[in-house]
Chains A and B, each alone.
Chain A
Amino acid sequence: MSKELVFITVIGADRKGIVATVSNFLYESNINIVDINQRIMTDGYFIMTMLADIVDASISMDALCAGLEKVGNHLNMKIQVQHENIFKMMHRI
């Protein structure tokens, strides 16, 4: 089955409910989370990334970006949505 993968990156200060809030928004948009990872980076930022498959999403890419931006504002975190191709291009030869 074909997949369309995006990375959702959440950056900011660590707090409760980040994974729950973002996951809930994705669930409501019929988006499947393929993988999830999180860490405090050496420069002190908390970072959480989710690899999500948007092939069956009930909303458009635009709506996904706008919706997650709102979620980010609510959490006081920066949320970035990027199609996986940009990481393939930049980090794999």
Chain B
Amino acid sequence: MTFTLEEIYETTNMILHQNLDIRTATLGINLKDLIDSDFESFRRKVYDRIVSHGGKLIEQSGILERKYGIPIVNKRIAITPVSLIMESHCSFEKYAQMAETLDIAAKDAGIDFIGGFGALVQKGMTRSDRMLVDVLPEILSTTERVCAFLNVGSNVSGLNMDAVNLLGGMLKKTARISASSVGCAKFVVFVNAPEDNPFMAGAFHGVGEGDATLNIGISGPGVVKSVVEKNRDCDLTRLSEVIKGTVFKITRSGELIGRELAAALGIHFGIVDISLASTTATGDSVANVLEAFGIEKIGTHGSTLALALLMNAVKKGGAMASGNVGGLSGTFIPISEDAGMIEAVQCGALGLDKLEALTAVCSVGLDMFAVPGDTPDETINAIIADELAIGIVNNKTTGVRIIPAFGKKAGEMIQFGGLLGTVPVMKVNPYSAKAFLNRGGRLPAPVTSMRN
């Protein structure tokens, strides 16, 4: 036999018992060529393209799932940033209608989330970008599948603080008018947003992309945890090595599915995003991986080091396994989608300050966490700006997905259900940065941007 029994058992065991799956196959599609002065015709063409691509994505994913016995959990679509294609239809009503079209098209195609309802505003906002922000509370609260994003900074542009200053009010309104404040879970604000990120809510099809491209997001906290548990007494270098080897294998499965799925769809294979992505399933938690390292609870002293070790090993293993690594390729540490993170917040081991510190070594940012509903707008803006400053200064992507939980106080829980899970409301610092943030304008790009 060409493979040993141990090798076959290892792969099968990963799938059957350690939650190995392809977390997402995200098809990015260009909509720029569909722009039409006749708005009804424009909407119809957008609908047709999404439904036709989405249908094929689901059909071909199913064939590969059966061929390799590996689940492809989410099949999604990312589109050209909507503010770009709506420039000549810049009204509240038309934005709302386009969002409705996207929502219905996603539903009819069998796609659970469609990403790209967003804008790139790192240096300034067009009239269309501004309209998009104004319409977001309504879109996020009335549509089911539409995901939104804003890119408000980059290490070459600095940080557009005027754009950030719009977000606290927008998010609180969204939280107030959507059930369980869930609308906020479908919006991410970024700096250095990648154009090929396959993960929602921040996926979009960048302007530098072709007509269609397939990007893959892998999974694997359960698999990594299992291998860490088998290496309880090894030193840090050895621990890093065993994780690297495991992540290599996980990423290879993503590379295989990506190559074959793109070929079956007759499109370009983009990237594999090597982020470890937790889910609400038991044992599929990044926090639990760090706890298997020997950290009693994530959030305590030593957690940042542990996460740095994990990140480093994941990147090295993943980089070798794929022809093109891209997207976010960090490690997600959302509160709501990770049972270990929720537990750490509830027992007091993890607070917002330490969460921010963790994001400095793991990329991706402050994800799916809730703050009290009466948090002042400018405090929300300040939390966002702090996180984004980390991204700009350290040359990496950071994002924030914050839920100002309407009517809830610190310590209470919000139930989203399904993929989004539950989330405890975290305490915020009571002191204000209002006077500083109100200065507005743009944070200049760091000196590291001057490389030419």
Interface residues of A (CB under 8 A from B): 7, 9, 11, 35, 37-39, 41, 45, 47, 49, 51, 61-62, 65, 78, 80-87, 89-91
- List of A residues within 8 angstroms of B2 by Cβ: 51, 84, 87
CB atoms of B249 and A82 under 8 A apart? no
6 tightest A-B CB contacts, nearest first? A89-B252, A82-B69, A90-B249, A35-B1, A89-B256, A91-B7
Closest to A37 in B: B5
CB atoms of A11 and B16 under 8 A apart? yes
Give bound CA distance, A7 to B255, whole Å.
20
- List of A residues within 8 angstroms of B16 by Cβ: 11, 78, 80
Contact with A along B1-32 (1 / 0, CB 8 A): 11101011111110110000000000000000
Nearest-CB distance from A55 to chain B (Å)? 14
Give bound CA distance, A81 to B253, whole Å.
15
Interface contacts (Cβ under 8 Å), in number, total 75
CB atoms of B69 and A81 under 8 A apart? yes
Give bound CA distance, A2 to B256, whole Å.
21
Closest to A5 in B: B2
CB atoms of A86 and B11 under 8 A apart? yes
Say whether B439 faces chain A, with CB atoms less than 8 Å apart.
no
Say whether B66 faces chain A, with CB atoms less than 8 Å apart.
yes
Give bound CA distance, A49 to B13, whole Å.
13
CB atoms of A83 and B1 under 8 A apart? no
| 28 A-B residue pairs with CB within 8 Å | A7-B8, A9-B8, A9-B12, A11-B16, A37-B1, A38-B5, A47-B5, A47-B8, A47-B12, A49-B1, A49-B9, A61-B66, A61-B67, A80-B15, A82-B11, A84-B3, A85-B256, A86-B11, A86-B69, A87-B8, A89-B253, A89-B255, A89-B256, A90-B7, A90-B11, A90-B253, A91-B3, A91-B11
CB atoms of A87 and B66 under 8 A apart? no
Say whether B68 faces chain A, with CB atoms less than 8 Å apart.
yes
Contact of A87 among B3, B13, B67, B255 (CB under 8 A): B3
Give bound CA distance, A8 to B306, whole Å.
38
Which of A39, A41, A90, A91 has the most C-beta atoms of chain B within 10 angstroms of its own C-beta?
A90
Say whether B70 faces chain A, with CB atoms less than 8 Å apart.
yes
- List of B residues within 8 angstroms of A9 by Cβ: 8-9, 12
CB atoms of A86 and B70 under 8 A apart? yes
Contact of A11 among B1, B12, B256 (CB under 8 A): B12
- List of B residues within 8 angstroms of A35 by Cβ: 1
- List of A residues within 8 angstroms of B11 by Cβ: 82, 86-87, 90-91
- List of A residues within 8 angstroms of B66 by Cβ: 61-62, 65
Which of A9, A47, A86 has the most C-beta atoms of chain B within 10 angstroms of its own C-beta?
A86
Nearest-CB distance from B100 to chain A (Å)? 36
Give bound CA distance, A7 to B15, whole Å.
14
- List of B residues within 8 angstroms of A62 by Cβ: 66
- List of B residues within 8 angstroms of A11 by Cβ: 9, 12-13, 16
Nearest-CB distance from A35 to chain B (Å)? 4
| With A7-B8, A47-B5, A85-B256 already in contact, 5 other A-B pairs whose C-beta atoms are closer than 8 Å | A39-B5, A47-B8, A87-B11, A89-B253, A90-B253
- List of A residues within 8 angstroms of B8 by Cβ: 7, 9, 47, 49, 87
Contact of A41 among B9, B68, B70 (CB under 8 A): B9
- List of B residues within 8 angstroms of A78 by Cβ: 16
Residues from 51 to 92 in B contacting A, C-beta threshold 8 Å: 66-70
Given A78-B16, A89-B252, A7 contacting B3 (CB threshold 8 A): yes
Give bound CA distance, A9 to B8, whole Å.
8
Contact of A51 among B1, B12, B68, B70 (CB under 8 A): B1
Which of B2, B16, B253 has the most C-beta atoms of chain A within 10 angstroms of its own C-beta?
B2
Give bound CA distance, A11 to B66, whole Å.
18
Given A37-B1, A84-B2, A47 contacting B69 (CB threshold 8 A): no
